[in-house]
Amino acid sequence: MDYLPLFHNLKGRNVLVVGGGEIALRKVRLVQEASAIITIVAKDFCPDLLDMAERDKEHGCNGLHLITAPYKLEHLQAIPKLVLVIAATNDRELNRLVSEHAQAANVLANVVDDPGYSTVIFPSIVDRSPIQIAISSGGDAPVLVRMLRTKLEALIPAGTSKLAALAGSFRERVKARFANGADRKAFWEEVFAGPIAEQAYANNLDSAEQLLAQKLESSDEFKTGEVYLVGGGPGDPDLLTFKALRLMQQADIVLYDRLVSKEVLNLVRRDATRIYVGKTAGDHPVTQENINQKLVDYALEGHRVVRLKGGDPFIFGRGGEEIETLAEHGIPFQVVPGITAASGCASYAGIPLTHRDYAQSVRFIAGHLRSGKMDLNWPELVQPNQTLVFYMGLSGMETICDELKQHGLDPQTPAALIEKGTSYNQQVFVGDLDTLPATVRAAGAQAPTLIIVGHVVSLHRKLAWFNLAERPE
């Protein structure tokens, strides 16, 4: 190990920065975040540094002092109890001289972009104060470090700060309650992987605090259940949200639909119980009431339940009804949006739903037949400059196309049917209101399929980019 990572408490301690440009500014900002008292020596200062000093003075902080002069050893020697010197000029020789002075005085030295002359280096930081993650390659691969940081930023919920602060405020009480370290650890593990953490991430801090207090006071067996209504997207597992993935990996029980892809389901925590509650058209093995009740029962038993649905739970997903029942029973729940079939299929088929040359609006329509009929407001649907997206429209496709024509839409209006959108089996059939049904029936397309009608469909030829090997003629 070339460097030992340490976290430096700079609060109220003296730091010297040499240099007044943009590079110095970046370091000053960081050190200021850590509440150090900063002296900056430079021949001149960039406007932002001058502003910062001005604001510091206005607020009476007395934390930032500018000295306009060429750097001299005396500047360094004049600062009492100096703990850190940062050389950030664009003069390499001067930077090295500053570092030598600092080291001779036994003060930590950092030279920007010159690790060889530094005794300490600045890491890349993922800041979820009070949680801090510092990453460094010792100067070997800064770009790699930046990429790793981006990954971590995405992985760690933004609300981690709030959760850590909450934990901090309960630390002593938890210590008093559990004398044994192993019990304490088990307690915190449950807190950080359950509804309390989720409430903190959702910025429901009162509720998180209340749950934590309850958990602390109740018996060891006490557990709070919660239901997460999660959108699993249209199929491609890469389209899940970070939040969906996190909750799927914490769940005790997962109730899922027919439309949830195998690849998405594979991402559920290994030892979670998986319960299929799917419905196939015209055949309802598990009634909606039954699903609603199951969610309530499992949550009341204290489980973390994920209700995993295809696409987005609030778009033709009856998600609203499920959480209404939960709300009536006072069970905490959260809703995680997913990419709905219209967005997923349109993107993966290269059909921009509202390309401004062709459409100013888009409609999502339930296109299923009820007793052989489709009761829709057709005169509205044939208005110009809009894109129509029909969900559940495969069996009624002929009716959809006929009705649109009868109500005045040009029979040559482009139309597409996307089968199993966003999966490797995706097929896109393109035609117009006259030709599409026959093309689709001849190919024997199977559910799930989505129908898009409107001039934006013509862009598919130019913009298709996904799964081109499987493209039908």
Cα 240 to Cα 191: distance, rounded to the nearest angstrom: 24
Question: Under the criterion CB under 6 A, does residue 392 sit at the interface with ligand SAH?
Answer: yes
* Cβ closest to ligand SAH, residue 161 vs residue 395: 395
Question: Under the criterion CB under 6 A, does residue 340 sit at the interface with ligand SAH?
Answer: yes
Question: Under the criterion CB under 6 A, does residue 420 sit at the interface with ligand SAH?
Answer: yes
Q: What b/e string do you get for 448-466 counting C-beta neighbours within 10 Å, with b at 16 or more?
A: bbbbbbbbbbbbbeeebeb
DSSP 3-state of 155: helix
Q: What dihedral do alpha carbons 369, 374, 378, 380 form, nearest 10°? A: -70
Smallest gap from residue 345 Cβ to ligand SAH (A):
5
Please give the distance of CA 20 from its chain centroid, rounded to a whole number. Answer: 37
Q: Are 451 and 397 in contact (CB under 8 A)?
A: yes
Q: Are 89 and 18 in contact (CB under 8 A)?
A: yes
Number of residues that bind ligand SAH (CB under 6 A): 23
Active-site pick, 27, 162, 215, 257: 257
Question: Under the criterion CB under 6 A, does residue 312 sit at the interface with ligand SAH?
Answer: yes
Q: Are 417 and 436 in contact (CB under 8 A)?
A: yes
* Cβ closest to ligand SAH, residue 104 vs residue 366: 366
Question: Under the criterion CB under 6 A, does residue 323 sit at the interface with ligand SAH?
Answer: no
Question: Under the criterion CB under 6 A, does residue 88 sit at the interface with ligand SAH?
Answer: no
Cis bond before residue 448 (omega within 30° of 0): yes
CA atoms within 13 A on the CB side of 168: 9
- In the chain, the largest separation of any two C-alpha atoms, in whole Å, equals 92
Catalytic-residue membership of 434: no
* Cβ closest to ligand SAH, residue 75 vs residue 309: 309
Smallest gap from residue 395 Cβ to ligand SAH (A):
10
Catalytic-residue membership of 48: no
Active-site pick, 114, 279, 402, 405: 279
Smallest gap from residue 402 Cβ to ligand SAH (A):
19
For ligand SAH, the binding residue among 95, 136, 224, 449 (CB under 6 A) is 449
Q: Give the strands of the sheet with 361-366, arranged side by side.
A: 361-366, 386-391, 449-453, 414-419, 427-432
* Cβ closest to ligand SAH, residue 310 vs residue 454: 310
* Cβ closest to ligand SAH, residue 115 vs residue 317: 317
Question: Under the criterion CB under 6 A, does residue 386 sit at the interface with ligand SAH?
Answer: no
Smallest gap from residue 280 Cβ to ligand SAH (A):
11
Cα 212 to Cα 216: distance, rounded to the nearest angstrom: 6
Binding residues for ligand SAH (CB under 6 A): 234-235, 259, 309-312, 315-317, 340-341, 345, 391-392, 418, 420-422, 447-450
Hey, which residues are catalytic here? Answer: 257, 279
